[in-house]
Amino acid sequence: MDLLKKLVSIGSFYIFVVTINDTIMKDFFEGIEDLFGLLLAPLDELRALELDSWFLANGLNWIFMAIGFLAFLYWMKQLKSFNDNNEENRESTSHSFLG
């Protein structure tokens, strides 16, 4: 009789643990779903805007391209200033792998 009581208590404990873990994990992943649904809502608006205006929908891409182009111009200006001051060592032995 003791063995039967122990098996029933172990079985009910197992069912309790499995049920609790399932609801906790389900709540956890639903929380992640809600968080990303909220964080990515502006991108859904951009996707809906594409039907009206392609240029406005890709405005974020235009901004990133402008930033990249300005960074490229700044980098080229810096390289030109170093080149004009002859600060770079242009000998063939300036790097060990060149010989």
C-alpha span between 2 and 24 (Å, rounded): 33
Helices 2-39, 41-49: crossing angle, 10 deg rounding: 50
C-alpha span between 76 and 80 (Å, rounded): 6
Count, residues in the chain: 99
State pLDDT tens for residues 35-90. 999 999 988 888 888 888 888 888 889 999 999 999 999 999 998 998 888 877 66
Map out the domains of the chain as residue ranges.
Answer: 1-39, 54-87
In this prediction the pTM is 0.50
66-80 residues labelled b (16+ CB within 10 A) or e (exposed):
eeeeeeeeeeeeeee
State pLDDT tens for residues 52-61. 888 888 888 9
Is 99 a residue whose pLDDT tops 90? no
